[in-house]
Amino acid sequence: MGDQSVCLHNSDISDVGHQWAAVLQGGPRACLDRESALVAGGLERYDVRRHRVSVPRGARVRRSRLYDIRQTRRWEAADLAPSGIPRTRPDVAGVRAALWADSDRQAVHVLTLVVQQGLTTAELLGTQALRIRRDRRRRLVHETILDLLDGARSLGELDVVRELRRRHLPVPTRQVVRKGRDGRYYLDLYWEEYALVLEIDGIHHTWATNVVGDALRQNSLVIDGDRVLRMPLLGLRLEPDAFFRQVEEALTIGGWRPARDQPRDVIRTAQPFAPSV
C-alpha cells in the first residue's frame, strides 16, 4: 500500500485501513485533511474518492497513486484533533474542504453537512473562515457560513427583493404578521394581490425541531387560500434563475401580467445571483 505499510490479508481493505495507510505514507507530521478528516471524524453519507493528506511546507512528500499527499502552508499542530487517527479538527477540515472542493456546489454541500450532522458549529466554522486571507472561494465560504448561522436571514430577504426589482417582477410586502392557533407568526415575503407567499429558508428550517412547525404554518396558509413557495438560501445561491422563474410563474397564475413596455429579456439574460455583503 505504498512504501510505508503492508496489507496482511487478501480481502477488501477497509476505509479505516486506507486512512491509516495514507497517514503513514505521508510521514511523521502527516494528517488527514479536508473531507478525509471529516469522514474519519464521523461524517456520514459522504464518499471520498481519494484520501487527502497534508504535510507542512518543506516536509518530504512521498508520492502515492492511492493517496493525495500535499504540502500546505496552512498546516499547524494546533489544528489537529486531540485523539484518534492524525487529522485536522472538523471546523478546520470543513473550511478547507470547501476551499479545495471541485465546485462551488460541493463547497456549499460539505459546509452544510458538517453543521447538520453536528460535527462542528457554524460559529466555529466562522472563526476558521476569518483566517482565510486570499482565496477565490473566500466570499462564498463566508456567505454560506452566514446562512448556516441564520445571520443572513434578513439580508436574504433584502437581496431577494433587490433581485425581483432587477427582473421587473412586482415587489412584495416584507414580514407580514399573521395570526394562527399558536399565536402570531411572520411571512417573509407576501403578495396579497396575487395570493402568493415566499418563505426564505435558512439552514435551521431543515432541522427536525422546526420541520413540524413550518409544515403546520404552510398548511394553514394553503387552507386560507394562499399559495406558498419556499426559497432556501443555499439553493438561492446556487440556482437563482430556477427559483425566480418559479416565482414569476406563480405570480402569473395569480393574475399578474408584465407591463407591455417592460424589457422581458432581463430575465432571459440574468446575471448570476450575487448577494450584497
- Cα three-residue angle 109-227-186, rounded to 5 degrees: 75
Query: Can you spell out the DSSP letters for the chain?
Result: --SS----SSSPPPHHHHHHHHHHHH-TT-EE-HHHHHHHTT--S---SS-EEEEETTS-----SSSEEEEETT--GGGB-SSSSSBB-HHHHHHHHHHT-SSHHHHHHHHHHHHHTTSS-HHHHHHHHTT--S-TTHHHHHHHHHHHHTTTHHHHHHHHHHHHHHTTPPP-EEEEEEEETTEEEEEEEEEGGGTEEEEEE-GGGGSHHHHHHHHHHHHHHHHTT-EEEEEEHHHHHH-HHHHHHHHHHHHHHTT----TTS-THHHHTPPPP----
Global confidence as pTM: 0.62
How many whole angstroms separate alpha carbon 88 and alpha carbon 268? Answer: 44
Q: Which regions of the chain carry the CATH code 3.40.960.10?
A: 152-254
Which of 91-95, 124-128, 147-151 is predicted most confidently?
Answer: 91-95
How many whole angstroms separate alpha carbon 80 and alpha carbon 130? Answer: 18
pLDDT band at 223 (very low <50, low <70, confident <90, very high): low
Q: Which of 66-75, 128-137, 151-160, 250-259 has the lowest mean pLDDT?
A: 151-160
Superfamily of 152-254 according to CATH: VSR Endonuclease (3.40.960.10)
**pLDDT, tens only, 182-200:** 667 678 888 989 999 888 8
Question: Would you state the cell numbers that stand for residue 158, as one nine-digit string?
Answer: 433584502
Angle (deg, nearest 10), helices 138-149 and 104-116: 30
Q: Evaluate if residue 151 carries a pLDDT over 80.
A: no
**pLDDT, tens only, 84-123:** 999 999 999 999 999 999 999 899 899 989 988 999 998 8
How many whole angstroms separate alpha carbon 241 and alpha carbon 156? Answer: 16
Give me the pLDDT at residue 265, please. 45
How many whole angstroms separate alpha carbon 37 and alpha carbon 42? Answer: 9
How many whole angstroms separate alpha carbon 108 and alpha carbon 79? Answer: 22
